[in-house]
Amino acid sequence: MTLTKTDFNFPGQKSFYKGKVRDVYSIKDDLLVMIVTDRISAFDIVLSKGIPYKGQVLNQIASRFLDLTTDIVPNWKIATPDPMVTIGYKCEPFPVEMVIRAYLSGSLWRDYKKGNREICGVKIPDGMKENQAFEYPVITPTTKAEQGKHDENISKKEIINSGLVSESDYEKLEEYTYKLFERGCIIAKEKGLILVDTKYEFGKKDGKIYLIDEIHTPDSSRYFYSEIYKENFEKGISQNQLSKEFVREWLMKNNFSGQQNQAMPEMTEDIIQNISEKYIELYENITEEKFVKTETKNLHERIYNNVLEYLTGKIL
């Protein structure tokens, strides 16, 4: 069984928001119950079927990295009462996502092949190859799009001039982004991985900046295996990567890239199983722990009871 939809009514619940992957319940105006479903999205479109254990993988990786970075920036997490749930502080999110890249990969490489040499006000040198490392990591922010719309690239200057984020806050977001990425790279290196790129989201609570949402998961990040990176790069061979990029590549091979009038390819059981195994592979590599599959027979009942027990015992 996969969890692709929730419809709970928790005590103290004020509102509900359905994201592409997460279902978020607002409790008493100051807490969020974030349920990480098994939905999967690509090109800002939710695919037709869920991926077994994907929500558990994402939630547990994010929870771990939130705990490992509290010395850099405070974050929204308070508790994880269920393998697929995080409960935390409700923050006012900044309307931008801080994307940071150390390599020319993914969508940036696709733009580069088309001749683009500047993204988000950052100039990219001529003559680079796919998956080549930049001299230093670059921040390429995007707007935080509403559901059903695409995130758009935006420059630091545009963000500040438009008033989306104040200059002082943006400088702090940049500082946190570089420090979080550095920590993520160090942890990845210890596990034989390269953190290629990732994104962070931030919010404010009581005038203070918090890290929110997920961090260093396969949905928000791209990893390479460090042992074979150099050889593959020199030979021009595709990197064996741990991220959601392989899902995008499968879709593009089947003539789907999120454009209008394109038919979504069929998600066969083999495809679904392969995606699930990739997510578990990343979990085991980045944590160096065996992934323990939780019982999925009564997912809705389990999640509701675990969240209810926490809310009843802690705040209600």
Domain count within the chain: 2
Same domain? For 224 and 101 the reply is yes
The pLDDT score that the predictor gives to residue 5 is 95
Residue 3 lies in a domain: no
The residue among 19, 4, 102, 101 whose CA lies nearest residue 50 is: 4
194-to-153, 188, 250 alpha-carbon distances in Å: 24, 6, 22
1-to-35, 185, 239, 282, 295 alpha-carbon distances in Å: 16, 34, 32, 21, 9
Same domain? For 172 and 235 the reply is yes
Same domain? For 184 and 259 the reply is no
Same domain? For 172 and 105 the reply is yes
Vertex 256 angle, CA 119 and 233, to 5°: 55
Q: Is this structure's pTM higher than 0.85? A: yes
259-to-42, 95, 256 alpha-carbon distances in Å: 12, 24, 7
In which domain, by residue range, is 194 found? 93-241
Q: How far apart are CA 133 and CA 112, in angstroms?
A: 14
Residue 263 lies in a domain: yes
Residue 235 lies in a domain: yes
Same domain? For 233 and 258 the reply is no
Same domain? For 124 and 219 the reply is yes
Residue 218 lies in a domain: yes
Same domain? For 101 and 234 the reply is yes
Return per-residue pLDDT of the chain as tens, 316 residues: 899 999 999 999 999 999 989 999 999 989 999 999 999 988 888 888 999 999 999 999 999 999 999 999 999 999 999 999 999 999 999 999 999 999 999 889 999 999 999 999 999 999 999 999 999 999 999 998 665 456 789 999 999 999 999 999 999 999 999 999 999 999 999 999 999 999 999 999 999 999 999 999 988 999 999 999 999 999 999 898 787 877 888 888 888 888 888 888 888 899 899 889 989 998 999 999 999 999 888 999 999 999 999 999 765 5
Residue 250 lies in a domain: yes
Same domain? For 52 and 175 the reply is no
Same domain? For 131 and 267 the reply is no
Same domain? For 143 and 60 the reply is no
Same domain? For 128 and 222 the reply is yes
Residue 135 lies in a domain: yes
Strand segments (E) across the chain: 13-18, 22-27, 31-36, 41-42, 45-46, 77-82, 85-89, 92-93, 96-103, 118-119, 122-123, 133-139, 142-143, 193-205, 208-212, 221-225, 241-243
Residue 220 lies in a domain: yes
Same domain? For 264 and 222 the reply is no
Residue 46 lies in a domain: yes
Output the domain CATH number for residue 114.
Answer: 3.30.470.20
